[in-house]
Structure 1
Amino acid sequence: MKDAQPKSIYLKDYRKPDFLIETTELHFNLDPSATVVKSRLKIRRNPEAHTPSLPLTLHGQDLELISLHIDGKTLQPSEYEIGPETLTINTVPNEFVFEAEVKINPEGNTSLEGLYKSRTMYCTQCEAEGFRKITYYLDRPDVMSEFTTTIEASESEFPVLLSNGNLIDSGKRENGQHFATWHDPFKKPAYLFALVGGTLDFIEDTFTTKSGRNITLRIFVETKDLDKCDHAMLSLKKAMRWDEEVYGLEYDLDIFMIVAVDDFNMGAMENKGLNIFNTSCVLAKPETTTDAGFQRVEGVVAHEYFHNWSGNRVTCRDWFQLSLKEGFTVFRDSEFSADMNSRTVKRVEDVSLLRTLQFAEDGGPMAHPVRPPSFIEISNFYTLTVYEKGCEVVRMIHTLLGAENFRKGSDLYFSRHDGEAATIENFVKAMEDASGRDLTQFTRWYSQAGTPRINATDAYDEESGTYSLTLTQSCPTTPEAKQEEKQPFHIPVAMGLLGDAGNLPLKLQGQPIDADTEDNTNLVLELTDFEQTFVFEGLNEKPTPVLLRDFSAPVKLNYNYSREQLTAIMSRDSDGFSRWDACQKLAVAVIEDVMNAYRGDQKYDIDHAFIETCRAILIDQSLDKAMVALMLQLPTEAYLSEIATEIDVEAIHFARQYVRKALAESLSEELESVYRANSNPEPFSASATAMAKRSLKNTVLSYLIVTETDESLHLAQAQLDAATNMTDELAALSAIINSEHAGESLRDQVLQDFYLRWSDEALVVNQWLTAQAQVSRVGGLERVQQLMQHEAFDIKNPNKIRAVIGAFCGGNPVNFHREDGAGYEFLADQILTLNKLNPQIASRLLTPLTKWRKYDSGRQALMRAALERIMSEPELSKDVYEVVSKSLKD
């Protein structure tokens, strides 16, 4: 670091703000390198802070001060002090008007925080602490103010001028300038401020709320992208209706706007009434967007809209409470997507992400509770733990309370805290008061880091017809919380018992049968002690336990299932998630067989029963096609790495590829039959049924291509040539470029043709870049280095960085983890470059290196050396410093 090493900020040190800002008036005169920002703030001392004589300290970074006034009086330099991140005025009255005029440089702002330029557009990103790069302010979420914003700019260059709230005035100025004034009547913290200025077109629609108010809906994009907005608009209207029906929440302004921005660190931002989106999360049409892209747009549009209440109307008191808005809103958008599509498929997708990446985060140096006790740079805590695990914590509350009481709790939470900056305790208290449940122990999910482990053992007494299930819980020590043994969690374990003919009725010993329960084959056990035994009676056969149905808690489960039991669950259990999970467990066992043989230089045998089980799944016409596709997809190398004690890169890659090929060759006739049955040309539809059909077809194609036959290659080429949608086109392209049989000439040709066809579509080109970065054939690093020299790559654009560097380092393990350490050196080089340009993106790219302790000693030394080289950089950003220092900490 250039100065002293950064200091941690602690939750325990929170105190109420010394001052409050009643109203905020802003005036922007937009200029690429010299935008002038004038602020007029009505400030008063906070009577609850008990600090009558403290000076006024405002946040501010990279600001050129022009003038300061208090109650109209110009302040002299001797009356204030400017630090690297603050402005301090020693003497101020109890109530006053603060005025500042500053100059900022949007064009030179490569951090993409605050006000910056994206191509020809001005835009802002203020969460978490970007507003301090716009003007001097109390930039903290518990300071909420009513904003009025006037934007002035060249009318010819920037005809569209947008900010939060409702448009209250607009007009022309001299010299070709024009202005627009926006007023947001709802108090908000500075992180929810937004501004956009540019040459944009929009599509418009309306929505009538349940109370009869007509809301104008607009999506602003560059003119070339107008034909890609319909899906986002439809998703928005669905989300607005769903929020009214499921939560009783109605939109509150006269207009709701979305703007698509090409340069954006995040996916999207919920600024009040003016959501700013990464283009990848709003633009969609069949020719350029995959099915996964369509679903992502629907989910993200809904997520940001739902924030209007869970985040905006009720915001978080401080950044330690981040999951209060994000975990809750992820739960809301997940339920929305489940209602709009397949609930089981959505659950499988969510759990796959959680178990692969969030569990790895829990086991790494950046492990932290859902509510972290400290941080150095808050941007590093927009994590899967805060979002995805935070969602699962809310889901567990929903499971424990039931849907009706959960709705009562959310109603109470919103009514109690509307217009306030709330805490996790406020949320939990509302749930307790509405339901009568005591959630004191449950709140440990917010304060204890790590992934709990549940060990299950059982015994069946044939004579008495009783079955005993013993569950024990534990949680490993994490770097962030040095407890040898953590306190027991309150864990809901949804379960069933499977017999020869299907699911068995459940009767817990000593408990009456609930006559109101329609389904007596499913039960939620509440594990609250380190060890508990549950006894079931009235059973005439030894059952197979089906535990964590619907993945009822974010835990790791250990039960010694036989392969026959897993096959039975896959075939007969009523819970779709459990069937998929059993398939994954069986596949892991088969892959581990091959890994062990590979390490011992022995013959590689594939369990014949596994092949036959996959055959049965493939030909079962009664199954949902999307579920068939999911069940046929082998566990990823990332998941196999996460569950490994020590990651054996080559063994994992070899074994998974070997099992894929064995399945493909054994099931080639069935695979080809299913492929052709699902390849009939028909008009594109984004329906769940149509997406399921494409998913199955392309999963099957990914198997057929590994048979390395002329016929499979011809199928892929024919699909590529005939594709009328990006899902099929990209699947075929990926199949060909990953095929050894295709040959270098053909691979180069299809890549060149694809690029020439789509070079004007940035989002498609990003997918083209990612497809190449993740090819696992030898030479992956060299291919990525060449891609970085391509005209389509831009080191200043986060989407390009993620498409190439992120995709390679996080999604191509066998090439990134080369034994010579060249992949680690490559990533260190990129992080050092990005540290100066965009520290947020740099810190997020570090994740693969943070897992160095899980590899063999040779790789450990090389990965640690790369981290130490980054750490030696004298001007390391806080973002990167925090991740690297925690990764190297003993």
Structure 2
Amino acid sequence: MRTEQPQVIYLKDYQAPEYLIDETHLTFELFEDHSLVHAQLVMRRNPARGAGLPPLVLDGQQLELLSVALDDQALSAGDYQLDDSHLTVQPKAATFTLDTSVKIHPESNTALEGLYKSGSMFCTQCEAEGFRKITYYLDRPDVMSKFTTTVIAEQHRYPVLLSNGNPVGTGPQDDGRHWATWEDPFMKPAYLFALVAGDLWCVEDKFTRQSGRDVTLRIYVEPENIDKCQHAMTSLKKSMRWDEEVYGREYDLDIFMIVAVNDFNMGAMENKGLNIFNSSCVLARAETATDAAHQRVEAVVAHEYFHNWSGNRVTCRDWFQLSLKEGFTVFRDSEFSADMNSRTVKRIEDVAYLRTHQFAEDAGPMAHAVRPDSFIEISNFYTLTVYEKGSEVVRMVRTLLGAEGFRKGSDLYFERHDGQAVTCDDFIKAMEDANGVDLTQFKRWYSQAGTPRLAVSEHYDSAAQTYSLTFRQSYPATPDKVEKKPFVIPVELGLLDAQGNDIALRLQGEAAAGTSRVLSVTEAEQTFTFVDVAAKPLPSLLRGFSAPVKLSFPYDRDQLMFLMQHDSDGFNRWEAGQQLSVQVLQELIAQHQQGSALVLDQRLVTALGTVLANEQLDQAMVAEMLSLPSEAYLTEISEVADVDAIHAAREFARKQIADQLFDALNARYQANRGVSRGTEYVAEAEHFARRSLQNIVLSYLMLSGKPEVLAATLEQFDACDNMTERLTALAVLVNSPFEAERGKALEVFAENFKDNPLVMDQWFSVQAASTLPGGLARVKALMQHPAFTMKNPNKVRALIGAFAGQNLVNFHAADGSGYRFLAELVIELNALNPQIASRQLAPLTRWRKYDAARQALMKAELERILASGSLSSDVYEVVSKSLA
């Protein structure tokens, strides 16, 4: 913990390491009340740093140093310098061997960084700077080494001993302990190191690579979860095949392992050959995991596997380049999921998430560029900007170069930089060199923070039969205060005629180019003129959300209804519906604020009725189009968010839609539920689509309050064979006025799943997100439940995160009680797990978004956190930037 102001680290200050580590030999002796780590580092002076032998400064935190030896000569305390964060030794030659032994305490490591215990299992998490809590080391991504690791532990308690690479030896010891040695033939930085020891069972399979060699695949879990691994194994094999076919990337070791752990700060970690996963991203079975959980498992398994090339074989030079591996890999896993499921629906889901959450981050105090210029605590930059916006930047490169050009660029990137630690510039340079293009201006996406605004106006000249679109870029102020220059914004578009057909596109001075094309907007103001346009068209702009910008065009509601029905781009059909919904909801919000009676524009009901009646549309697409913009998104697009008016307006609209479309909604529900009753659960796109529509329809139907809907909901809750339908029925009941049925359902659910931690997390979240009055009291009561603990990140996210992040009307109670509650928990979590504490702060950091009274209350809680005592650098950075 820190009491002084932490140090700011700047990208401009980067220097290559003074020394390199060619070989790392580790021996772990694991005991119940401590562990010993013996490290032998084969080192040399970095020739890139010149001559001379400067002091060797190794990173280390929370380590008890037992011994140090330089070239087999033991050093006394006067031969080295030691402080809370570093061990400094003076080498005598350009090549040397350093041996250290340290004692650490994994059993009391609640921060879950370095080596720690999750239940009865030892495991590690070293990204970004966790390895320094294991042993003294050059803990930076540009120091790459070959690792050999020996793990020694009690055989009865820890029969499985794992580390990176390939197994090279195992054996017993005379004292009831045993050992295993693993050797990783590939150079890697310390953040990719992994170790696991526990009483684990595994599911084993194999994958035959395109080259004909087999890879052994193993997923390790605690014995009670052995029946929940098959979906993850299937997802892994799909990922391996897809990466071979789409990117030409084969796996490079003889064995690939995944281990599921219950206590984990993130979703998963791509350690070379030994991926460590939050159990929520591995375990999936119909009875205990929803469709969304199945899809998340598939996506996360793919993401971590894809890192084998985009992150491991080619890694990042420094942590400012984090999006080099994360943005690229998010793009890769998104494309994989699109190929496995519905491409349009996947794009809708990704964009809805980006605009609700990452755009909010861009507009808040923690706004930063995809490649930030500075940070205090690197764990705070595992953000939506680095991941999701970083993915959008890669997607724009693919859009500008085309699929074939992008593949040429990625092939060159992997070939040129295999085994290296590189930068975002190196990635773009490979794309340039492979395609003979200049992306210098495009790189501003990496260096400029904030979400660009793109205003579009039109002009039609009937005499000349020309149609012009003028694009104007603007850039909001962000905390970095960097003067913004024009971005390169790829805008994919089409033009629709009066019948809703795409017309042929021909720009002035060019040949015709089909009915959809990409315009590259590179200037602050830029006009494109299309010729041979017989009548004024309706533009379909930013198809597929071709750039992460806030687009504005003066569509009226009738035009939006037209696009909903006719646009050939599925994403833009959904987008037109969202824009129509936003206009209608904002009108209702204004009526509420004025104290007027709420009156819903019937065009929204008509449009949704048309969608509901269209049985040709993918059912998942219908479900997405029936989903009104969330309260979080309506908050994000408001100048000053009125949480009470937003909630009232959205609930009024939902109730009106439910009442007026009841028969059509009920018909869809009965048809889909009928199929579900007669069909065994299948985790495939068509079945996901059917259940998603069935469940959103049920949530509308319950708003009617009709007894037959209650009966249908109870039937679904009791009689379904899968968690998707059961949890939806529970959520519908929890948000309904039927108090007795709600209480009984919660009781039955908890009794049935009390021994399944992941299912109980969903039980917590459903209640935490309920917008019925008394939300905070419910959350406080649930914190006393025996299944809840502040020491488990999944529990914190499920209960506290769901309340503060999803239950806006209760969290933003006018008396500030929600803010006080969150501040107290952040102060408590700061001492237990700083990473989780800082991530729970996000709702408070947006205090400037609300009315003056709420601003004062939220700011006061941030100030209370700042004054609370010794803050971790994680929490200090977020709070101090939020108050700046």
Where on the TM-score scale, by shorter chain, does this alignment land: which range? over 0.9
State the alpha-carbon separation in 1 of the partners of residues 380 and 504 from structure 2. Answer: 45
1:781-815 C-alpha deviation (Å, 9 max, x unpaired): 00000000000101000000000010000010000
State the alpha-carbon separation in 2 of the partners of residues 698 and 631 from structure 1. Answer: 14
> Which of 504, 509, 512 pairs up with 2:510?
512
Structure 1 residue 500: Cα displacement: 1.5
Which one-letter code corresponds to 1:823 in the other structure?
G
Write the mapping of 1:311-460 to structure 2, written as runs, cut at 5 A.
311-460=311-460
1:480-539 C-alpha deviation (Å, 9 max, x unpaired): x213x410000000011111222332433433325xx6xx11010100000001111111
Which one-letter code corresponds to 2:778 in the other structure?
R
Which one-letter code corresponds to 1:769 in the other structure?
F
Write the mapping of 1:739-778 to structure 2, written as runs, cut at 5 A.
739-740=736-737, 742-743=738-739, 745-778=740-773
Write the mapping of 1:419-818 to structure 2, written as runs, cut at 5 A.
419-479=419-479, 481-483=480-482, 485-513=483-511, 520-680=514-674, 681=677, 682-740=679-737, 742-743=738-739, 745-818=740-813
Q: 1:253 corresponds to which residue?
A: 253
Given that 1:33 and 1:104 are in contact with CA atoms closer than 8 Å, whether structure 2 keeps it comes out as: no
Structure 1 residue 874: Cα displacement: 2.1
Given that 2:508 and 2:530 are in contact with CA atoms closer than 8 Å, whether structure 1 keeps it comes out as: no
Q: 2:306 corresponds to which residue?
A: 306
Given that 1:32 and 1:117 are in contact with CA atoms closer than 8 Å, whether structure 2 keeps it comes out as: no
Given that 2:2 and 2:873 are in contact with CA atoms closer than 8 Å, whether structure 1 keeps it comes out as: no
Write the mapping of 1:87-106 to structure 2, written as runs, cut at 5 A.
87-106=87-106
State the alpha-carbon separation in 2 of the partners of residues 51 and 861 from structure 1. Answer: 57
Q: 2:62 corresponds to which residue?
A: 62
Q: 1:886 corresponds to which residue?
A: 881
Cα pair distance change 1:355/1:199, threshold 3 Å: same
> Which consecutive residues of structure 2, in runs of 5 or more, have no partner in the other structure?
none
2:48 is paired with a residue of what secondary structure?
coil
Which one-letter code corresponds to 2:534 in the other structure?
N
State the alpha-carbon separation in 2 of the partners of residues 388 and 25 from structure 1. Answer: 37
Q: 1:178 corresponds to which residue?
A: 178
Which one-letter code corresponds to 2:647 in the other structure?
H
Which one-letter code corresponds to 1:752 in the other structure?
E
Given that 1:311 and 1:325 are in contact with CA atoms closer than 8 Å, whether structure 2 keeps it comes out as: yes
1:48 is paired with a residue of what secondary structure?
helix
> Which of 863, 872, 881 pairs up with 1:877?
872
Structure 1 residue 136: Cα displacement: 0.3
State the alpha-carbon separation in 2 of the partners of residues 860 and 476 from structure 1. Answer: 21
Structure 1 residue 708: Cα displacement: 1.5
2:62 is paired with a residue of what secondary structure?
coil
Which has the larger displacement, 462-471 or 161-170? 462-471
Superposed CA RMSD: 0.9
State the alpha-carbon separation in 2 of the partners of residues 786 and 635 from structure 1. Answer: 30
State the alpha-carbon separation in 2 of the partners of residues 509 and 379 from structure 1. Answer: 47
Which one-letter code corresponds to 1:821 in the other structure?
G
Structure 1 residue 417: Cα displacement: 0.4
Given that 1:508 and 1:534 are in contact with CA atoms closer than 8 Å, whether structure 2 keeps it comes out as: no
Q: Are residues 1:200 and 2:207 paired?
A: no
Given that 2:508 and 2:531 are in contact with CA atoms closer than 8 Å, whether structure 1 keeps it comes out as: no
State the alpha-carbon separation in 1 of the partners of residues 13 and 92 from structure 2. Answer: 25
State the alpha-carbon separation in 1 of the partners of residues 854 and 545 from structure 2. Answer: 34
Q: 2:23 corresponds to which residue?
A: 23
Given that 1:33 and 1:105 are in contact with CA atoms closer than 8 Å, whether structure 2 keeps it comes out as: yes
Structure 1 residue 259: Cα displacement: 0.1
Q: 2:160 corresponds to which residue?
A: 160
Structure 1 residue 77: Cα displacement: 0.4
TM-score under structure 2 length normalisation: 0.99
1:297 is paired with a residue of what secondary structure?
helix
Which one-letter code corresponds to 1:562 in the other structure?
D
Which one-letter code corresponds to 1:863 in the other structure?
M
Q: 1:215 corresponds to which residue?
A: 215
Cα pair distance change 1:219/1:749, threshold 3 Å: same
1:20 is paired with a residue of what secondary structure?
strand
Given that 2:232 and 2:284 are in contact with CA atoms closer than 8 Å, whether structure 1 keeps it comes out as: yes
State the alpha-carbon separation in 2 of the partners of residues 454 and 3 from structure 1. Answer: 44
Q: 1:831 corresponds to which residue?
A: 826
State the alpha-carbon separation in 1 of the partners of residues 391 and 598 from structure 2. Answer: 41
State the alpha-carbon separation in 2 of the partners of residues 8 and 43 from structure 1. Answer: 29
Given that 2:58 and 2:88 are in contact with CA atoms closer than 8 Å, whether structure 1 keeps it comes out as: yes
State the alpha-carbon separation in 2 of the partners of residues 250 and 209 from structure 1. Answer: 7
State the alpha-carbon separation in 2 of the partners of residues 246 and 81 from structure 1. Answer: 51
Structure 1 residue 15: Cα displacement: 0.3
Structure 1 residue 562: Cα displacement: 0.5
1:502 is paired with a residue of what secondary structure?
coil
Given that 1:496 and 1:503 are in contact with CA atoms closer than 8 Å, whether structure 2 keeps it comes out as: no
1:678 is paired with a residue of what secondary structure?
helix
Given that 2:45 and 2:94 are in contact with CA atoms closer than 8 Å, whether structure 1 keeps it comes out as: yes
1:583-612 C-alpha deviation (Å, 9 max, x unpaired): 011011111111111111112111112111
State the alpha-carbon separation in 1 of the partners of residues 749 and 488 from structure 2. Answer: 52
Aligned length: 881
Structure 1 residue 4: Cα displacement: 2.4
Structure 1 residue 2: Cα displacement: 4.5
State the alpha-carbon separation in 2 of the partners of residues 443 and 33 from structure 1. Answer: 51
State the alpha-carbon separation in 2 of the partners of residues 572 and 100 from structure 1. Answer: 69
State the alpha-carbon separation in 1 of the partners of residues 32 and 38 from structure 2. Answer: 16
1:402 is paired with a residue of what secondary structure?
helix
Q: 2:851 corresponds to which residue?
A: 856
Identity among equivalent positions (%) equals 59
Structure 1 residue 718: Cα displacement: 1.0
Cα pair distance change 1:31/1:600, threshold 3 Å: same
Given that 2:491 and 2:520 are in contact with CA atoms closer than 8 Å, whether structure 1 keeps it comes out as: yes
1:762-792 C-alpha deviation (Å, 9 max, x unpaired): 1110000000000001100000000000001
Which one-letter code corresponds to 1:601 in the other structure?
G
Q: Are residues 1:229 and 2:229 paired?
A: yes
1:13-41 C-alpha deviation (Å, 9 max, x unpaired): 00000000000000000013210000000
State the alpha-carbon separation in 2 of the partners of residues 400 and 470 from structure 1. Answer: 20
Write the mapping of 1:28-67 to structure 2, written as runs, cut at 5 A.
28-50=28-50, 52-67=52-67
State the alpha-carbon separation in 2 of the partners of residues 200 and 877 from structure 1. Answer: 34
Given that 1:819 and 1:859 are in contact with CA atoms closer than 8 Å, whether structure 2 keeps it comes out as: yes
Structure 1 runs of 4+ off > 6 angstroms? none
State the alpha-carbon separation in 2 of the partners of residues 3 and 120 from structure 1. Answer: 34
Which has the larger displacement, 721-730 or 601-610? 601-610
Structure 1 residue 91: Cα displacement: 4.5
Given that 2:451 and 2:476 are in contact with CA atoms closer than 8 Å, whether structure 1 keeps it comes out as: yes
Given that 1:56 and 1:92 are in contact with CA atoms closer than 8 Å, whether structure 2 keeps it comes out as: no
State the alpha-carbon separation in 1 of the partners of residues 874 and 217 from structure 2. Answer: 36
1:149 is paired with a residue of what secondary structure?
strand
Which has the larger displacement, 879-888 or 609-618? 609-618
State the alpha-carbon separation in 2 of the partners of residues 486 and 652 from structure 1. Answer: 33
State the alpha-carbon separation in 1 of the partners of residues 591 and 336 from structure 2. Answer: 45
